Amino acid sequence: MSSIVLFGPPGAGKGTQAQRIMESTGLPQVSTGDMLRAAVKAGTETGLSAKTYMDAGQLVPDHVIIALIEDRIQEDDASNGVMFDGFPRTIPQAEALAGITQVSHVIAIEVPDGKIVSRICGRYTCGNCSMVFHDEFNPTTEEGVCDGCGSNEFKRRADDNADTVLSRLSAYHEQTSPLAAWYEGRGIFHRIDGDRPIDEITTDILNVLE
C-alpha cells in the first residue's frame, strides 16, 4: 500500500487537482477539511470541537486529526493507499502517518501568498458532487450548472472570507511549511508551480506520478 500527499497553502488547488487525478491514480481522495466539515454538519463531538478552530482559521489539534485518519485508513477503499489532501499539516501528523501507511510522493503545489485571497474568496463547490469552481478563474462551463453532475446547487464555505484566509495562511507558514524540509530529506518531495492554468498543473503532477 502506497499513498500520495497533496501539499500546499490554502487555495493552492489541492482539492481541484485531487479530483482530476483520482481516476488516473485509482486512489480515493482523503481530505481532512472535507471530513471535518462533514463532522461539523453532522454535529458530532469531533465536529463541535473542530468548528471553533476552523472558524478562526487555526489548525485543529493533532490528536483529533490523527484519530480521524486512523479510522479512515481502515476502510475498504483505502487498502491500496489514498491521496491525502490537506493532511499532514504538522510534523507530528507526518510522523503519525509514517506509522500508518507508506507515502510514495509528496506533491507540493506552490502559489504566492498574493494570489491566495482572491482564489479563496471566489471559490464555490457543487452541493451534490463537491466539484470545485471559481467565479473568475474556473467557472462552470454552462452558467449555474455543475460540469461534474449537472446539479444547480452550489455552496460556499464558512471559512472562505478574507480575514480567516489570512489566519489560515499564517498557520500554513508557521506550522505546515516546515514539513517541506522534513519530506525533502526523505527524497519524496516534488515542487509544482501552481500559479499556472489548471490543466498544465494536472499534466505535471501526472508526469511526476508516472
Q: Is 37 a catalytic residue?
A: no
Catalytic residue among 20, 51, 72, 89: 89
Residues that bind ligand AP5 (CB under 6 A): 8, 10-16, 32-33, 36, 53-54, 57-60, 65, 86-87, 89, 93, 119-120, 122-123, 132-134, 137-138, 168, 194, 198, 201
Residue 4 Cβ, how far from ligand AP5 at the closest point, in Å?
A: 14
Q: Is 89 a catalytic residue?
A: yes
Q: Is 72 a catalytic residue?
A: no
Residue 210 Cβ, how far from ligand AP5 at the closest point, in Å?
A: 21
Q: Are 180 and 90 in contact (CB under 8 A)?
A: no
For residue 73, give the nearest of 39, 36, 102 by alpha carbon.
102
The residue nearest ligand AP5 at its CB is 33
Nearer to ligand AP5, 12 or 103 (CB): 12
**Cα–Cα–Cα angle for 92, 93, 99, rounded to 5 degrees:** 95
How far from the centroid of its chain's Cα atoms is residue 25's Cα? Answer: 16
Nearer to ligand AP5, 87 or 189 (CB): 87
φ/ψ of 81, rounded to 5, equals: 105, 170
Instruction: Return the exposure string of 83-118: e unless at least 16 CB atoms fall within 10 Å of the residue's CB, then b.
Output: bbbbbbbbeebbebbeebbebebbbbbebeeeebbb
Nearer to ligand AP5, 81 or 176 (CB): 176
Catalytic (active-site) positions: 14, 89, 123, 157, 168
